[in-house]
Structure formats: structure tokens, C-alpha cells
A and B are shown apart, each in its own frame.
Chain A
Amino acid sequence: GNSVTQMEGPVTLSEEAFLTINCTYTATGYPSLFWYVQYPGEGLQLLLKATKADDKGSNKGFEATYRKETTSFHLEKGSVQVSDSAVYFCALSARRTANAGGTSYGKLTFGQGTILTVHP
């Protein structure tokens, strides 16, 4: 089955430090890959995505590159801010396949999340 493994946290950084959160995946075929962010007390927000190998997703200074050869989608930011403190989830969405009932669906498989705390 599909799975996502994230580096364990929590991660604590000083403001303006470089951030890397590792994410590796196991999936059949060519999944889409996502990073979601969850701020305290809120739902998940899509941060960035990549739908095919070598695609780079980017948003708000964050970047991640879809590496098929290493099955990875590591999240990076060159200079973190206090406002980046949140929980980050890596996720994959499998391509749609037919199930035994003949219907088609795909599900989002999440990593366990990485807590990031940035200090001034």
C-alpha cells in the first residue's frame, strides 16, 4: 500500500535559519505529492504540490521537488519566520483506480506531521 514517512519532530529553529523537513514515500505508479500546513487551532491548508517527477512546488518561500529516483519530496525554506511555526504534513494522492465494486476513487495518505517552532 501507499505510505508517507516524515522526519520526526519537533523541529526548533531560530528566526532566519534554514529549514528542511524530510519526506519519503512509497506508492505504486505516479502519485501527486503535497505539503499541507496546520496552524494552531485551524484546519489544514495546502502549502504546495507537485504532480509529476522533477516538478518543483513553491509557495510563501517554501519549496519541494518531486524526486522519483529517491521517492522523496523534502520541504525547504531558506529563512524561516516566527509566523512559520505550525505543523507540516507531507501527503500523497494515488492515481485513481477502480475498486472491486467498479467505482473509482483515490485517497490522500498523510505522514504523521512535523511540529516546527521558530524562536525570535
Chain B
Amino acid sequence: DAGITQSPRHKVTETGTPVTLRCHQTENHRYMYWYRQDPGHGLRLIHYSYGVKDTDKGEVSDGYSVSRSKTEDFLLTLESATSSQTSVYFCAISEWRGLQSYEQYFGPGTRLTVT
């Protein structure tokens, strides 16, 4: 199994509070991703990183920010949580060779409930 951990694994928080989710990898992969998984939507990309301090938006980035100060850590922050951000959040890592990506490996997920 790829060395990816996520913390916390479960969290319940109140509307309007800030929340930070952490993804930690031991594979030294350059690319890291945050997805959310919701019924009927599959997985949707929130933000991704292509190197330390290099990040960009995915398709559902509103209300989220990210930071990557070290290769191994990728943080996802909900600045002011809303009920629509109740979801399961997955981190993934990947490497690239030339123009073709290798497969992404996923962490175990964080179940976030915003009340």
C-alpha cells in the first residue's frame, strides 16, 4: 500500500468554523490532490499541487484553500465550513513520466460533517 495517511479520519464541526484536513505521504511523489466524494457525483477535484508551494484549483475549489510547505504534507482548509461541504474527502498522490501520468494512489479518506 502507498504510504498515505489522512487526519483526522472523522470530524464533526459547526457551520462557520474553520477546518483543516491533513494529508501526509511517505512516497516522495511530486503531485498531490484533494477530492471530495458525494453520492451521484463520483469524485471531484478540489485542488492539486505540482510541487512545494505550487498549487492550483480544481473543478470545485470555491470555499477551500490549500497549502504545501513540504513535499510530504498537503493541507486542505475550509475557511468557514458550510453544510454543503459535508462530504468524504480523499487525498491522492501521483508521479509523472514525460507526458503520461502514473496512476494515483488514494488515502483512506476523512468523513467531515458540518452541522
- Asked if B45 and A112 make an inter-chain contact with CB atoms under 8 angstroms apart, the answer reads no
Question: Which residues from chain A contact B105 at a C-beta distance below 8 Å?
Answer: 46
Question: Which residues from chain B contact A93 at a C-beta distance below 8 Å?
Answer: 101, 103-104
Question: Which residues from chain A contact B92 at a C-beta distance below 8 Å?
Answer: 44, 108
- Asked if B108 and A103 make an inter-chain contact with CB atoms under 8 angstroms apart, the answer reads no
Q: State the CA gap A28–B94 with chains docked (Å).
A: 21
Those of A4-59 within 8 Å (CB) of chain B: 32, 34, 36, 42-46, 49, 51
- Asked if B42 and A113 make an inter-chain contact with CB atoms under 8 angstroms apart, the answer reads yes
Number of interface residues of B (CB under 8 A): 27
Q: Using a Cβ cutoff of 8 Å, how many contacts connect chains A and B?
A: 63
- Asked if A107 and B99 make an inter-chain contact with CB atoms under 8 angstroms apart, the answer reads no
- Asked if B42 and A105 make an inter-chain contact with CB atoms under 8 angstroms apart, the answer reads no
- Asked if B54 and A108 make an inter-chain contact with CB atoms under 8 angstroms apart, the answer reads no
Question: Which residues from chain A contact B99 at a C-beta distance below 8 Å?
Answer: 95-96
Q: State the CA gap A69–B103 with chains docked (Å).
A: 23
- Asked if A45 and B48 make an inter-chain contact with CB atoms under 8 angstroms apart, the answer reads no
Q: State the CA gap A95–B99 with chains docked (Å).
A: 5
Those of A56-96 within 8 Å (CB) of chain B: 89, 93, 95-96
- With A96-B96, A110-B42: A105-B107 Cβ-Cβ less than 8 Å: no
**Nearest CB in chain B: distance from A27 CB, A:** 13
The 8 A CB mask of B37-57 against A (1 = contact, 0 = none) is 000111111001010001010
**Nearest CB in chain A: distance from B101 CB, A:** 5
Asked if B33 is an interface residue, CB under 8 A from chain A, the answer is yes
